[in-house]
Amino acid sequence: MFPIHRHPPVAQALDEGRPVVALESTLLAHGLPRPGNVETGRELEDVVRRHGATPATIAVLDGVAHIGLSGEELRRICSEPDLTKLGLRDVPVAAGLGRSGATTVASTAALAQSAGISVFATGGLGGVHRGARDSFDESADLDVLARTRIVVVCAGVKSILDIPATLERLETLSVAVIGFQTFAFPGFYVTESGCTVDWRCETPEEVARIFAAADGFSAAALVVANPLPVHRQLDPALHDTVLGYALGSAVEAGVTGRDVTPYVLQRLHVASNGLTQEVNVDLVLRNAALAADIAVAYSSMSG
């Protein structure tokens, strides 16, 4: 039996049919610098609570999948050196070996859905990598979203990826992508990626109704793209300049495969003098707030 521990506040909320929002731990463990990542983790959970839902930060600790973390467990995730990054394929391995790790979008979504959580907030999705025609490099997020019934609130996909190819792949996998109050698909750090989506919603209640309408019809996720307001995005000109530098640096350094994303994101952070990190925190907090609103709306419909 796969070992899962539900944090008591999360277990109580789920048992009583109250709204819960899943949060990934890889952002905290690998995406943000220490020690500020602990404060961001607390802020994310506080935002979810202020919007009427119970936060469930997900991670694997000593071989047990934790659906929600205590304060001490959150600090551990944010401070433990060399914590493993666990994709979906890695979770049972970590469980079998009694290891610890932070969960990605794919593994968080799957664990959340298995625990009965319907809404998940993250920063940006993984997707099809640039040059995937030759490397076949594609995030496991896409396949998992195709078979995991959950609402995922995000700021699009990371701009270092091939965004048009990622949207095409999501369409092929029958994963619905909806813009929140926009038809423009966001580019993570920037409000618009240059791509569009076919559908938009104006309110959390509309998102909840769409998700409810798919019950018994679709087993795929519903992706809600929530762009940053224009005045809070990274300056697009700076973004393009810095991204070009970071991608070129990765090629020169011979970085390939799963190492490309963390390498390029770190170069973006350095070249932008830390601005990308500030934008990253801003967008994930906004996504957590919207996810909580959607969870509240969905819970009221389900109840």
Catalytic residues: 24, 158
Pairing of strands 54-61, 64-67: antiparallel
- Which residue in 69, 68, 110, 70 sits closest to 86, CA to CA? 110
Residue reference for tokens 């011979």: 254
Phi, psi for 159 (deg, rounded to 5): -70, -10
Compute the distance between CA of residue 297 and CA of residue 211 in angstroms, rounded to an integer. Answer: 11
**Other CB atoms within 10 A of residue 78 CB:** 22
Residue 72: partners with Cβ closer than 8 Å, 6 or more residues away: none
Report d(CA 150, CA 223) in Å as an integer: 8
DSSP 156: B
Q: Where are the alpha helices (DSSP H) in the chain?
A: 8-15, 26, 36-50, 71-79, 91-97, 105-114, 132-135, 140-146, 163-172, 204-213, 236-253, 260-271, 275-302
The pair of three-digit structure tokens given for residue 214, joined into one six-digit string: 């798919």
Letter for the amino acid at 213? Answer: A
CA distance linking residue 171 with residue 112, whole number of Å:
23
Extract the tokens encoding 117. 């959580």
| Nearest CA-CA partner of 234 in 288, 160, 166, 183 | 160
Cα separation values, 26 from 18, 160, 225, Å: 26, 18, 20
